[in-house]
A and B are shown apart, each in its own frame.
Chain A
């Protein structure tokens, strides 16, 4: 088909239809050949027309076609080929009679108008007059019309389009209404798309037709920083900004306010460890909850000291030398991390481990800003008891028992008879004895073969000695009988493609 000259991006049925009808027109550039082609096009046309009629949104189509029908009218009437009652002619009548302005004016007003006209034979003049009247009132596209406009012959198209655009501009404030009234929002969106296609540098100049830019609120960095500062004391910040000796200074800076107030340490004990971080202690004192007992601080102090010792580049921090203030601030930051880490995991013994975890925490911290302030005491207390409890002999008994009871259940399944509980316990005792015997035997067999590893050959020998594997019944037979398929695959060597055998022998 010759839709090539139509710059539509979407080959909808309407556009295809338009193309079909365009080629009908003897006055369009390609009209001459359409007369010959029309004969073979009518069969093609019929599915389109039938589809059109079956669609529920006929009104919008009519409206869309109506825009062009003005131009078409003249051609069709002069051509005089109209009036055989083919689907094509009926469709043309639809196009002709559909009012031009329907896309613009609210649909409810227009629907009754085109409906009776469609059924009747085309009365071209009257409809054309109505169309022309309605043309200037064109409103922003709610239907296909603009897209179909493009499909018109270019001369007429330009004229109509310009008029249409003017109408659009005039009716711009009314645009939301017809959108709502159109009731074919999907069509409108498609139309908007269609309008955006080529002849449409004009749409750029017509702001009403352009898509609305997404309204995004810019992140208010100032408010964000303000929030940060509100949660911490202002003088904490310059501290962290100054020292930049740590590799993870970025998260530190953002995090330090949180660290400060998330570390609960009473003022008295803090002085000892904080002697070198006079500035940082201030905010901490103010922000920390006094609930934390001193023991934590003692531990922290020790760890801090240990940490300071661990640092090769720092002096003895506990002495509180101000000469190394920047370094100590750095150390203080690390120690803070450690102390905070110690809060969360008081049972960690190795400083390096804590330090690493503190570093990990640093990365975690920015994700959880101020909420951590309240949290640290609680999860800490909740976490301690599970860790303190050690696994006693209780655990040792349980899995052994459960494993045995697993086999005891199989026992009751095999007997197919009701059993007493005492009998089940007896079975478990027997199983216990059996396992001991089994291990001894396997050890003997492996030692006999000069090995320290038990291999399947030992197991086969054991089964043979037990009388389960005989000359008539081989091991593979037993495996196939009693084990599920997945285990069978693992045990019995089988040939696979690629000249391989699994499991390898």
Chain B
């Protein structure tokens, strides 16, 4: 019993992946390349992990400055680090 490539079970998925959005971005950036269907989800996974790391880093920065609110300089500093890390 092979399942279809579309989502089979419930129609509603919590935290849906914006597959169309991701595909459009990739196409806009690299029109000469093609993206496979399941790579979509892996890219989404990658984004989630990136944002998770970014958020933790910014939270750490904000706590370091003893701020209760995350400010953009916290985010900026965090982004510098994380972008370097996820450069691949």
| Residues of A near any B CB (own CB < 8 A) | 399-400, 402-403, 406-407, 410-412, 414-420, 422-423, 425-427, 429-431, 433-439, 441-443, 446, 452-456, 458-460, 462-463, 465-468, 478-479, 482-487, 489-491, 496-498, 500, 502-504
CB of B2 within 8 A of CB of A459, answer no
CB of A455 within 8 A of CB of B45, answer no
CB of A454 within 8 A of CB of B34, answer yes
Question: In the docked arrangement, what's the CA distance between A399 and B28, Å?
Answer: 13
Question: In the docked arrangement, what's the CA distance between A442 and B26, Å?
Answer: 10
Shortest Cβ distance from A230 into chain B, in angstroms? 53
Which of A427, A435, A454, A485 interacts with B35 by CB under 8 Å? Answer: A454
Shortest Cβ distance from A441 into chain B, in angstroms? 5
CB of B71 within 8 A of CB of A423, answer yes
Shortest Cβ distance from A475 into chain B, in angstroms? 8
CB of A459 within 8 A of CB of B1, answer no
Total of A-B residue pairs, C-beta within 8 Å: 182
CB of A482 within 8 A of CB of B72, answer no
20 examples of A-B residue contacts, CB within 8 angstroms: A403-B21, A403-B25, A416-B59, A417-B59, A417-B69, A418-B69, A419-B69, A426-B72, A426-B75, A430-B79, A431-B51, A433-B79, A442-B33, A454-B33, A456-B38, A462-B88, A466-B46, A466-B87, A487-B17, A502-B3
Interface string of B41-85 (1 = CB under 8 A from A): 111111111111011101100100000111110111001001101
Among A402, A415, A491, residue most surrounded by chain B Cβ atoms (within 10 Å):
A415
Tell me what chain A mostly uses at the interface: helix, strand, loop, or mixed.
helix
Q: Which residue of A lies closest to B60 (CB)?
A: A415
CB of B70 within 8 A of CB of A453, answer no
Shortest Cβ distance from A463 into chain B, in angstroms? 6
CB of B86 within 8 A of CB of A434, answer yes
Residues of B within 8 A of A504 (CB): 2
Residues of B within 8 A of A425 (CB): 72
Shortest Cβ distance from A316 into chain B, in angstroms? 48
CB of B39 within 8 A of CB of A456, answer yes
How many B residues are at the interface, by size bracket?
Answer: 35 or more
CB of B72 within 8 A of CB of A422, answer yes
Residues of B within 8 A of A443 (CB): 30, 33
Question: In the docked arrangement, what's the CA distance between A386 and B24, Å?
Answer: 25
Asked if A437 meets B33 with Cβ closer than 8 Å, knowing A403-B25, A407-B47, the reply is no
Shortest Cβ distance from B13 into chain A, in angstroms? 5
Knowing that A406-B21, A458-B39 are A-B contacts, what are 6 other residue pairs whose CB atoms are under 8 Å apart, sorted by A's residue number? A439-B26, A439-B30, A459-B39, A466-B46, A490-B41, A504-B2
Q: Which residue of B lies closest to A500 (CB)?
A: B2
Residues of A within 8 A of B7 (CB): 486-487, 490
Question: In the docked arrangement, what's the CA distance between A483 and B42, Å?
Answer: 9
Q: Which residue of A lies closest to B10 (CB)?
A: A486
Asked if A467 meets B85 with Cβ closer than 8 Å, knowing A407-B51, A420-B70, the reply is yes
Q: Which residue of B lies closest to A413 (CB)?
A: B55
